[in-house]
């Protein structure tokens, strides 16, 4: 029986994780759950999974939950400290890090520092603080299991091979809902258009990241930290069917890939049970019915976010944390109809231009760069003279 703390349990990844837990009650026990504002769903999850500890964003929501649950209430905490306590002190053997954005960084790091294995969906943690996080992973000797489907595919394709024999990693990208739009059509794209992803059902922020292809940029940086490879050794292929989840090319020309239908339950389950595989009730991959799979180079002109991410990774230091924070602010503004779709990349580029990178070898440095980039991005979005809209 493995005990789990699930951070971000009301989100897309959190809910899928709990579905796996519910299907395998003999394998998993939930010790902690955390959520942002969806207290209604969290309350149902508490009644079903009976965690010992819970954290919500807002202290008022914590009080409401306590009242509603009465004598059945577990220990209910709130805010940043509550999140960190749930990550590090629930007695879990594995923390599922599925909060969206840099908000997931401190609790994820707290779990690692407490010596707990982590199943990482929250890619922003590695983008912002890859150096700090990986240093702690090594120092504490914990396992960091990738949940992101591409990184899970690479993790599987690397198993049993020598890292020195890797020529490059090839991350696949669906291309998102706007893959075939012209530059003029992208200028007019709305949040509703962007939220309807062809292959994957995901939270709002990652859906927009997928439409701009910043998601792939963040994943390139995530892959750099997880697999310790330079940006030159990480390529991206657009693959609209999302069947090949990613590949590893070796020095002898062999390419090893992992395939499956696009459903996050497969990589989540593997991160929960590695090296075992859990039986999942998913439709099988039918390659004969599919007939063909397509691959192409990403269009860096229509989707400049991917190049921005490579640029931040090559610059190093605090640049990726700044890229990530500017992206979070710009995506939020786009979702609120305060910024046009193509201006998301313009804001990020302008914030990166203004940033003087410093080493990102401490949490303090990373958080300061993140905060500064947020201010810079908000000012750019507000100022009509910025020419950003």
Least distance (Å) between residue 268 CB and ligand NAD: 9
Least distance (Å) between residue 219 CB and Mg ion: 5
345 interacts with ligand NAD by CB under 6 A: no
SS3 content of the chain, % helix, strand, coil (to 5): 50, 15, 35
Rounded distance, CA 242 to CA 290, Å?
12
Rounded distance, CA 148 to CA 70, Å?
37
**Based on CB atoms, which residue is closest to Mg ion, 131 or 148?**
148
Report yes or no: 49 and 21 within 8 Å, Cβ to Cβ. yes
Task: List the one residue from 100, 194, 247, 330 that touches ligand NAD (CB under 6 A).
Answer: 100
Least distance (Å) between residue 151 CB and Mg ion: 7
Give the residue ranges of DSSP H helices in 298-362: 305-315, 319-335, 343-354
Task: List the one residue from 4, 5, 13, 313 that touches ligand NAD (CB under 6 A).
Answer: 13
Judge residue 256's burial from the number of C-beta atoms within 10 Å of its C-beta, 0-12 exposed, 13-18 middle, 19 or more buried.
Answer: middle
Considering only the stretches 121-129, 244-252, 299-307, 359-367, report the one whose residues sit in contact with ligand NAD under the rule CB under 6 A: 121-129
Least distance (Å) between residue 27 CB and Mg ion: 25
Rounded distance, CA 288 to CA 211, Å?
29
123 interacts with ligand NAD by CB under 6 A: yes
387 in the Ramachandran plot: left (φ > 0), alpha (ψ -120 to 50) or beta? left
Rounded distance, CA 86 to CA 164, Å?
38
Considering only the stretches 120-128, 169-177, 240-248, 292-300, report the one whose residues sit in contact with ligand NAD under the rule CB under 6 A: 120-128
117 interacts with Mg ion by CB under 5 A: no
Considering only the stretches 31-39, 233-241, 343-351, 378-386, report the one whose residues sit in contact with ligand NAD under the rule CB under 6 A: 31-39
175 interacts with ligand NAD by CB under 6 A: no
Task: List the one residue from 131, 136, 148, 263 that touches Mg ion (CB under 5 A).
Answer: 148
Rounded distance, CA 88 to CA 230, Å?
32
Give the residue ranges of DSSP H helices in 28-78: 39-49, 59-69
121 interacts with ligand NAD by CB under 6 A: yes
Signed CA dihedral, 23, 24, 26, 31: sign only:
negative
263 interacts with Mg ion by CB under 5 A: no
Q: Which residues would be at the binding site for ligand NAD (CB under 6 A)?
A: 8-14, 35-36, 38, 57, 83, 98-100, 103, 121-124, 148, 200, 202-206, 264
> Contact residues for Mg ion (CB under 5 A)?
148-150
């Amino acid at each position: 029986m493995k005990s789990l703390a699930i951070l971000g349990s009301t989100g897309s990844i959190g809910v899928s994780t709990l579905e796996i837990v519910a299907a395998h009650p003999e394998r998993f026990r939930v010790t902690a759950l955390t959520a942002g504002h969806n207290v209604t769903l969290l309350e149902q999850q508490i009644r079903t999974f009976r965690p010992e500890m819970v954290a919500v964003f807002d202290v008022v929501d914590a009080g409401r939950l306590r009242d509603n649950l009465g004598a059945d209430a577990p220990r209910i905490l709130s805010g940043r400290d509550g999140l960190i306590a749930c990550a590090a002190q629930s007695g879990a053997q594995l923390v599922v890090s599925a909060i969206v954005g840099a908000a997931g960084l401190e609790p994820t790091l707290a779990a690692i520092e407490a010596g707990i294995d982590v199943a990482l969906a929250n890619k922003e943690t590695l983008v912002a603080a890859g150096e700090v996080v990986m240093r702690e992973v090594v120092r504490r000797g914990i396992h960091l299991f990738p949940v992101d489907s591409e990184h899970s595919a690479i993790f599987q394709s690397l198993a049993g091979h020598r890292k020195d024999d890797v020529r490059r990693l090839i991350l696949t990208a669906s291309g998102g809902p706007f893959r075939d739009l012209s530059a003029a059509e992208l200028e007019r794209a709305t949040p509703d258009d962007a939220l309807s992803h062809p292959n994957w059902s995901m939270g709002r922020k990652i859906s927009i990241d997928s439409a701009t292809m910043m998601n792939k940029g963040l994943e390139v940086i995530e892959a750099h930290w997880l697999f310790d490879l330079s940006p030159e050794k990480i390529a991206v292929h657009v693959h609209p069917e999302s069947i090949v989840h990613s590949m590893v090319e070796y020095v002898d020309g062999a390419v090893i890939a992992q395939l499956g239908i696009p459903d996050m339950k497969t990589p989540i389950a593997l991160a929960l049970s590695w090296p075992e595989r859990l039986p999942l009730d998913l439709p099988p991959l039918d390659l004969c019915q599919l007939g063909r799979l397509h691959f192409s180079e990403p269009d860096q002109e229509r989707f400049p976010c991917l190049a921005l991410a490579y640029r931040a990774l090559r610059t190093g230091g605090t640049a990726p944390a700044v890229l990530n924070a500017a992206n979070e602010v710009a995506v939020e503004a786009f979702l609120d109809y305060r910024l046009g779709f193509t201006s998301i990349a313009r804001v990020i580029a302008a914030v990166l231009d203004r940033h003087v990178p410093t080493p990102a070898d401490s949490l303090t440095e990373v958080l300061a760069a993140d905060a500064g980039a947020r201010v810079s991005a908000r000012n750019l979005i507000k100022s009509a003279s910025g020419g950003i809209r």
